[in-house]
Amino acid sequence: MNHLGAFYTNNFRNALIEYGYNKTEVDEKVQQAWEDLFGNQSPDKKIYFDVEPDMGYMLDTGNNDVRTEGMSYGMMMAVQMNKKDVFNRLWKWTKTYMYMEYGDNAGYFAWSCRTDGEKNAYGPAPDGEEYFALALFFASHRWGDGQVPFNYSEQARDLLHMCIHKGENNDGYPMWNRDNKLIKFIPNVEFSDPSYHLPHFYELFALWANEIDRPFWKDAANASREYIAKSAHPITGLSPEYAFYNGSPNHIRGFGHFFSDSYRVACNIALDYEWFRDNACPTVVNEKIQAFFSDKDPDDYRRYKIDGTPFEEKSLHPVGLIAANAMASLSTHGENSKKCVDMFWNTPLRTGERRYYDNCLYLFSLLALSGNFKIYKPTER
């Protein structure tokens, strides 16, 4: 283990300044992106909406619904930006409308709701739960716990316990396979989504979850680093949206190729490397991804087989892909790394119907590359 990651040093790399951008301009760009997405001055960019008197939601503008993915992302963005009011509004909406109290999925959150709060589905998506948990821990450490439902750390610990122990009493399914420690695509299937794997989150869960669960999360971090490496193509670095536990693409419903979900793999490797610098972090995957896209025109980004063969189908989220490839530069160096950062810097937030996913990845990348995607520890209040 190389103990030079930001978890150990509390120094978060500002890659934008390293690549020659002005600190004042970087800080302004971060603040402006937040205002564009969460404020009321840029209706063609915003994805957060207040619901009076004390709730709010993140809108998937392409599907006109509210998803646990977006709500948990919004909460992470809010705690990173020190916006407690927005964080609490998002969490209260989530607990009020998305939480499931009955059935096999009791204790989880419905992955999709209408904007009025009515559930579109009664199943969860585990990428939401894992982001909820870490955002809640960070909120607890940054602001302190409050009254239910703002007893952040307790909410996080209970959720994580549910994610790995559910089903022990024949009451549903866990979100992680308890044998191989790999996250599932959804609880009642036995395959994964490489972009769900967040070993850097699990390292923190291994410190802050219920004591009985901590060894599981440490094992999950190690298992996920291995899985990310073996699910990526050995030449291109591209990962499928769905993959079996052995890392091979799962082509059910055509999701065994590189498409929108897959973009996040580069982000996850980058942040894992920035935070922990574990020797098993597969940074070579990000080097290969950046090399693959080095000669591609963003206006012609496609859906790809993981070997790099393009489909006719264009990328649904080209700005998100630009952002993810730039965030990869936290774990890479050299010409391709700088090229990806420069392309991102010169790319504006997306406007229009499909802006939600792109702009989520955009703000995460901007926070990470500017040294503002930070770890908040229990002692830092």
Instruction: Kindly state the tokens that stand for 88.
Output: 């609490």
CA dist 104 → 176, 186, 292 (Å): 15, 12, 42
- Give every CB contact of residue 247 below 8 A, 6+ residues apart in sequence: 227, 230, 231
Residue 272: closest CA among 212, 341, 221: 221
Tokens of 87: 């964080």
Query: How far apart are the C-alpha atoms of 271 and 225, rounded to whole Å?
Result: 12
Tokens of 258: 């590189």
Separation CA 6–CA 69 (nearest Å): 25
Sorted by sequence, the CB contacts under 8 Å of residue 76 that are 6+ apart come out as: 131, 134, 135, 138, 364
What is the C-alpha separation between 343 and 153, in angstroms, rounded? 38
Active site residues: 69, 261
